[in-house]
Every structure is written in C-alpha cells, then in structure tokens.
C-alpha cells in the first residue's frame, strides 16, 4: 500500500475542528496552541508554520477572534 504515513511527520498531530453553529474552524497544534479561522487555507498555513516556535500548552493557547 502506498501513501503518506502521518506518523512520519515531525512533532506530532495537528487537529482541525469545526466550531458548531459557526463557519469557523479551530486549528490545534500538537504543542497545545489553538486558533480559530474562517479560511481553511489560513488555518493550514498557521498550523504548518506554528511548530517552528512551539510553546507550552498554557502559553500556546491563542485568543480566539
């Protein structure tokens, strides 16, 4: 079977959650940082760039806009 192995990604797992009742998506970095977005492209750009400066879980939480 061919394909990309997600466990081979450096760092950990990124998660994307739909925020019920809204048009927003919540991105969660493996370091614990969270931020919500309307645009999925912006969300993935943030997630893929974020681990360059990982923070602790408490420090990584970003204010929701």
Please give the chain's pLDDT, 65 residues, in tens: 445 555 555 568 899 999 999 999 999 988 889 999 999 999 999 998 876 644 443 434 444 43
Check: pTM over 0.85? Answer yes or no: no
Biggest CA pair distance of the chain: 42
Angle at 57 between CA 52 and CA 61, to 5 degrees: 80
State residue 45's pLDDT score: 92
Contacts of 54 (CB under 8 A, 6+ apart): 11, 29, 30, 31, 33, 60
């Amino acid at each position: 079977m061919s394909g990309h192995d997600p466990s081979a990604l450096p760092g950990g797992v990124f998660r994307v959650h739909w925020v019920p009742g809204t048009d927003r998506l919540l991105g969660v970095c493996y370091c614990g940082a969270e931020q919500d977005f309307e645009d999925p492209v912006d969300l993935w750009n943030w997630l893929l760039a974020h681990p360059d400066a990982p923070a602790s879980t408490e420090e990584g939480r970003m204010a929701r806009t």
